[in-house]
Homo-oligomer: A and B are copies of this chain.
Amino acid sequence: LSGWCQRLAQLDRDDPLAAFRDRFVLPEGIVYLDGNSLGALPRATADAVAAVVRAQWGQDLITSWNRHDWIGLPGRVAAALAPLLGAGPHEVAVCDSISVNLFKLLAAALALRPHRHVILAERRNFPTDLYVAQGLQELMGGRVRLRLVDRADELTAALDADTAVLMLTHVDYRTGAVHDMAGLTAAAHAAGALALWDLAHSAGALPLDLRGCAADLAVGCGYKYLNGGPGAPAFLFVAERHLRAARQPIAGWMGHARPFDFVPGYEPARGVARFQAGTPPILSLAALEVGVRLMGEADMRQVRAKSMAMGEAFLALAAERLAGHGFTPACPAEARQRGSQVSLAHPQGYAIMQALIAQGVIGDFRAPDILRFGFAPLYNRYEDVRIAVEALRRVMASGSWADPAFQVRGKVT
């Protein structure tokens, strides 16, 4: 173990991202490996939100929409986010939740492929994506059908002349497995379909190149690796080539070409602004802006390199220190095939994770048996890997996980 100690300490000393850690508020004595559920609080966020509340809303009231350009805030956050996605600023909108944005984009995709009716996806996808597709299917009757495959290697064969859109999550939320975005997008295109990517576990975690991959559509999350705060607004991407023709059904006033003309007829705004719907939530957007700009300061290649190295260290250390305790790796062995997380399976995974959290190491559990550890290279240290694995070893060696208190399922697991 002392070899590991020295090696990880050296990696921390050499870490080009080390200075970012001070830009976050992190509770004393906690190792936080759950930034893929809720990113940590950037140090600048509290003041930024307080300024919007006290100085802008409190003092300038309604005039803040112009004076502090609240009306431009969604567009500013989108423009700051675009480089992290490999997208143009005019291809990204920040609004609503992933669920609502997926609904818009699935409907848009089906309208762009009017003679096709199938949404093709994986059964193991994060469920909300499947639910949204099912909701659209129920609304549209026979005009939309969600088709699920059980294994990723069945996707290409399942693409056919009925497929309107291939809807995939880039990084699997349980295993961390990364899809080949360029390859699967090309396969979708070869079949005449569009490709829609859910970037919930990708944005702020991996370098992304939506344009280079020729992706058609994408959605993603503000509150995970972008550190935008609980329930932060989500984002969506529509490739420039579709912006003229794409229409979305939730035709709210913020997507209108001239919302303040108050005319009774809907006319979609030019470009991606038409994917906005209602009035934007300014407080939540102000928090998201801080997280996105902070992430934008980092070199995403360095972020990815550190995240891969942390994953390698975690799996190697776990193999050494947790042997015989019944864990099985539940993520790809190759770092390049994993997102910014590692996953271990264990039949008692739920209770073990609760016991580990009681030790001050926060990861999370995903049914049925996955312990998930996310790496946020801007605030996690290499040292966190050792602390986490050693805490897990103590939980297993002491049997503390068998405490009945750790078996009780909370509302949010």
Contacts and interface: CB of A to CB of B under 8 A. Distances in A.
Nearest to A111: B139
Number of copies: 2
B366 A262 contact: yes
A261 to B, nearest CB: 6
A132 interface: yes
B107 A100 contact: no
Contacts of A279: 97-98, 223, 230-231
A284 B281 CA distance: 7
A235 interface: no
A37 B260 CA distance: 13
B63 A264 contact: no
Contacts of A254: 99
A225 interface: no
A253 B128 contact: yes
Contacts of A138: 247, 249, 251
A232 interface: yes
Size bracket of the A interface: 35 or more
Contact of A61 (B27, B132, B410): B27
A216 interface: no
A25 B412 contact: no
Contacts of A256: 127, 131
A42 to B, nearest CB: 10
Interface stretch (A52-60, A78-86, A151-159, A298-306): A52-60
A140 to B, nearest CB: 8
A136 interface: yes
Contact of A262 (B64, B127, B247, B249): B127
Interface string A36-72: 0110110001100110111001111111111000111
Contact of A46 (B58, B60, B253, B278): B58
A120 to B, nearest CB: 14
A364 interface: yes
Interface string A343-387: 000000000000001000010101100000000000000000000
A10 to B, nearest CB: 28
A264 B130 contact: yes
